Chains A and B, each alone.
Chain A
Amino acid sequence: MKLIFERSQAGRRGSAIPNAGLPVPEVPEELRRRKPPRLPEVAEPEIVRHFTALADRTFGVDTGFYPLGSCTMKHNPRVNERVVSLPGFRDLHPLQEEEGAQGALELMWRLQEILAEVCGLDAVSLQPAAGSQGELTGLMLMRAYFADRGEADQRRTVITADTAHGTNPASVTMAGFNLQKVETDARGNLDLDDLRAKVGEETAGLMLTNPSTLGLFDEHIEEVAAIFHDAGALLYYDGANLNAVCGISRPGDMGFDIVHINLHKTFSQPHGGGGPGGGPIVVRDLLEPFLPVPAVVRKDDDFALDYDRPKSIGKVRGYTGPFGVFVRSYAFIRAYGPALRLMSEAAVLNANYMLARLRDAYELPFDRLCMHEFVLSARNLKREHGITALDVAKRLMDFGFHPPTIYFPLIVAEALMIEPTETEPKETLDAFCDAMLEIAREARDDASVLKEAPHSRPVRRLDEVKAAKRAIVRYRFGDHPDLAGEPSKGEAVEVQKGA
């Protein structure tokens, strides 16, 4: 398929800009553009065809089942797209005077109240742009809290689980803390002995998701919370797996002091091919003074932005956050009302059903009921037939499914991490399980069809080694390499020496 630059022809264009009929001031010579940027030159019909062809080569939740673990690929209701496009939201400038933005401020305030209730905590900031940014913000809050108490130099370490998503340790580093890891025991809970040995007066806090990335609820969570609180430390909840427990168990009640929520997971902001998302944080009262500025507050019947927050950590993102994401999530939650627990119950039922159907054909590392997701291992297929989790994933594409997450969490070899979500009908779950069982049979009887999969996608298996060794990361116009031929030595070496 052509790149849009390969469809370009000099002189074509899609736009017509109204001419003001006014003289154009000169840009000073030393600041003036010498050569125009080589943007595509295409008229509207070709632009539409091009992006339609790209959409045809993309698989979304709208296309089919997408069981990526801890991603919560649930259906995205179309009414949310309708309301986010209302001109009163869409065409509102973020620096509009507060009296001209009362609807936006009210929506944000209401969403804050909802999230506080769902979490069982007290104060909210909607500002962070994604879960990772929520994590970083939460860690900054921890740091500010301890600095306020004169314990900044003492509390240098944050503990994460060995099953943690990579963002947790990455966030710890970005927040300037040292990292400690705690192990998972044979039952899939945090190893309490290991934990007690590692928590001390230098501990700032714990970062944990519950249920974990194994899809298991930590049975000792109350004890875990006590260990940290007794040491004067805080608990941070990674909300990636909140879809399992809404209205069933609240992070604040579990003992967590800071929570981030992934609006693009639990509350149905569409994933958009990699974003946007939203990572609001919800905190216990004692952390409220440190929240980012401005805060969205209510004064009688009016809503306002409060900038007078002397202990705030500052600002993590422009304006009040990704407002369009708030509109969709707010609408999603308002469609459920107090019955939000139905969402989590269905998610957990769907996951357990699939687990029951697949546990014999694949290895099950932890023999428990799961929550909204579960982890299988393809280690038996590897041992007996040389078939890996990667092969299983690629072959699932031929059955019309998006593969689950593979090779994560790290503590399970040949991991397949499966999260169906609540919006899938039983027939889809059955079709996926049937495919997984068929693949287990193929591993025994016809391994090559797995090794060469996928067979039915727009491309076959792609060479990621080649892409890493010579990184072609932009179209190079006249010099664009013909990948069928040999790369020029100079190009490959240039990238290798990157800093």
Chain B
Amino acid sequence: MAAEESYPDDLKYHREHDWARVEGDTATLGITWYAQDALGEIVHYEPPEAGGSVARDESYGEVESVKAVSDLISPLSGEVVEVNGTVTDAPETVNDDPYGDGWLVKIRLTDPAEVDDLLDAEAYRQLLEEQ
């Protein structure tokens, strides 16, 4: 059921295996195929509060599989606008569709310039090869 390995070109990436889809002054965040594969089937999502703030490079929540816990590292700073309730109810959605239905939070950016510091798909794939 898990997705095929992929790293879409239209996304930005953080070295801790998180992605961001930037649209104007908002961004949707999630974890990459590599991250969900390393965790195994995800059984729990601990999201931030809507209205709370997240900071670049800091943890904003957790995902868990049976054998591991992973901090969700935010690629960008902002205010939480929406938490994906689908993932809260059915965490395995992240394994099935990490870049689509498996998105984790939507944030309003407080410092859009941070986007320039993120990796593009090519650079992220490069990082994975060096792992």
Contact = CB atoms under 8 A, between A and B. Distances in A.
- Touch between A and B in complex, CB under 8 Å? yes
Interface of B: 41, 43-44, 64-67, 88-89, 91
A360 interface: no
A465 B41 contact: yes
A358 B124 CA distance: 39
Interface in A387-421: 407
A96 to B, nearest CB: 46
A383 to B, nearest CB: 15
Judged by DSSP, the binding face of A is: helix
Interface residues of A, number: 9
Nearest to B88: A496
A464 interface: yes
A465 B66 contact: yes
A496 B89 contact: yes
B44 A468 contact: yes
3 closest residue pairs by CB, A with B? A468-B43, A464-B66, A469-B43
A465 B64 CA distance: 11
Contact of B89 (A407, A464, A465, A493): A493
Contacts of B41: 465
A173 to B, nearest CB: 14
A497 B43 CA distance: 12
Scoring A467, A468, A497 by chain B CB atoms within 10 A of each residue's CB, the highest score goes to A468
Contacts of A469: 43-44, 91
Contacts of A464: 66
Contacts of B91: 469
B92 to A, nearest CB: 8
Judged by DSSP, the binding face of B is: mixed
19 contacts: A407-B67, A464-B66, A465-B41, A465-B43, A465-B65, A465-B66, A467-B66, A468-B43, A468-B44, A468-B64, A468-B66, A469-B43, A469-B44, A469-B91, A493-B89, A496-B44, A496-B88, A496-B89, A497-B88
A493 B89 CA distance: 7
Interface in A441-488: 464-465, 467-469
Interface of A: 407, 464-465, 467-469, 493, 496-497
B58 to A, nearest CB: 17
Contacts of B67: 407
Contacts of B89: 493, 496
A464 B41 CA distance: 10
A469 B66 CA distance: 9
B131 to A, nearest CB: 12
A464 B44 CA distance: 13
A464 B67 CA distance: 9
A300 to B, nearest CB: 56
A464 B68 CA distance: 12
Contacts of A493: 89
Nearest to B91: A469
Contacts of A467: 66
Nearest to B40: A465
Nearest to A464: B66
Given A468-B66, A496-B88, 12 more contacts: A407-B67, A464-B66, A465-B41, A465-B43, A465-B66, A468-B43, A468-B44, A469-B43, A469-B44, A469-B91, A493-B89, A496-B44
Contacts of A497: 88
Contacts of B88: 496-497
A404 to B, nearest CB: 17
B11 to A, nearest CB: 28
Nearest to A498: B44
B21 to A, nearest CB: 26
Contacts of A496: 44, 88-89
A496 B67 CA distance: 17
A349 B70 CA distance: 40
A367 B46 CA distance: 42
A469 B40 CA distance: 13
A497 B64 CA distance: 14
B93 to A, nearest CB: 12
Contacts of A465: 41, 43, 65-66
Nearest to A469: B43
Contacts of A407: 67
B102 to A, nearest CB: 16
A396 to B, nearest CB: 19
Nearest to B45: A496
A175 B32 CA distance: 36
